[in-house]
Chain A
């Protein structure tokens, strides 16, 4: 519950920061800001200890690798399919990559 509130707040803060920046390419960096991660890891460290947070961070390496692949493909899919369908395709790619990396390394 606390994580959800802090996570939401962090996303809004980074989004606002991103909106201030021009040009769009630079502002876009903030679309992949570690806002949820920052809030969640801070709460996990405080509540369940830093060992658990470090383990989450290991999982996050796989998630971030998936995000690199997803957004690289997203550049093309957004151009071809439009913002909504293109980014949903990117999210699907992330789910596939994340699930396979998770199955391979994180169990």
Chain B
């Protein structure tokens, strides 16, 4: 029945580098055009009305609407709002840049510009760090971790493409995967529902898992991940079941923080278990878990499609 293809698979470092290729040449071209136009406007105003009024346009936020609109389309409004909060910090840094440039440029152009750029960076990043510390001190907590919906959208698209329904069982992610998936337009057609089974008792009662299995293998184990996925699928009558169980912060049951099992199970009873074991720290583990779960879900869905497409 079960086919535990356990694949130890760590999140690759340098994830941020891969984001570069997500921006299409067209988006770079748009930004280039905006930058060029603003530079030209500043030059023309300088010629017509003098350098001081022309200089005003060196701080013109022309690129903002383009960047934010692209960001909203790709990653959602919360990310765009987050971006403009950062832009506010950057603009205070830009004030530092302008003051330093005004004071130093007449003496030495090269050094003056370098000092002004350094000033922008130092002011911006110091302010950013200070605000982060302040937020932590005041006890501000985000309702959802800062996770974009880019990984949720392909999952919904893949489910809709094969007209399959999904049931979820989450332990360590506390419903975040369901929150992200249901945020995608069209989720209503394919998401049946989900369980947040935080305790062993909840896993047994909601998902019908034999407590003996939990006692024998521990709540964070490939066996329990598989039972959770099967249980969610069965309880909600969905085509696909997905479950995640892991250790977020402190060691649990002798398991180290960062250890996570993700299971995806299909209608034919086959299932795929993925294991992750790298500890990113309490706050970051959940984000990693959510991203990995969505990615595995998408991969499994597309590989299922391929298998179905194959003749014979």
Contact = CB atoms under 8 A, between A and B. Distances in A.
Given A3-B40, A54-B106, A66 B59 contact: yes
A15 to B, nearest CB: 5
B186 interface: no
Interface residues of B, number: 82
**Closest 10 CB pairs between A and B?**
A28-B86, A59-B55, A7-B39, A11-B35, A32-B90, A63-B59, A56-B55, A8-B36, A83-B72, A45-B109
A95 B38 CA distance: 13
Contacts of A64: 59, 91, 94-95, 97-98
Most buried by B among A4, A38, A57, A66: A57
B98 A63 contact: yes
Given A24-B146, A32-B91, A54 B102 contact: yes
B52 A55 contact: yes
B120 interface: yes
Interface stretch (B75-83, B158-166, B242-250): B75-83
- Kindly state the interface size class of chain A when it binds its partner: 35 or more
Interface stretch (B14-22, B175-183, B197-205, B268-276): B14-22
A83 B80 contact: yes
Interface of A: 1, 3-12, 15-16, 19-42, 44-46, 50-68, 70-72, 74-75, 78-79, 82-84, 86-88, 90-91, 94, 98, 101-102, 106-107
Label chain A's interface by main secondary structure.
helix
A53 to B, nearest CB: 5
A25 B82 contact: yes
12 contacts: A28-B83, A31-B64, A50-B107, A53-B51, A56-B46, A57-B58, A57-B98, A61-B99, A70-B61, A86-B68, A86-B84, A91-B62
Contact of A8 (B35, B52, B91): B35
Interface in B1-55: 16-17, 19-20, 22-23, 28, 31-40, 42-43, 46, 50-55
A34 B63 contact: no
Given A11-B34, A36-B42, A83-B65, 16 more contacts: A4-B37, A7-B36, A11-B63, A19-B19, A19-B23, A25-B83, A29-B93, A32-B91, A44-B46, A51-B106, A57-B55, A57-B58, A65-B95, A68-B88, A87-B61, A98-B59
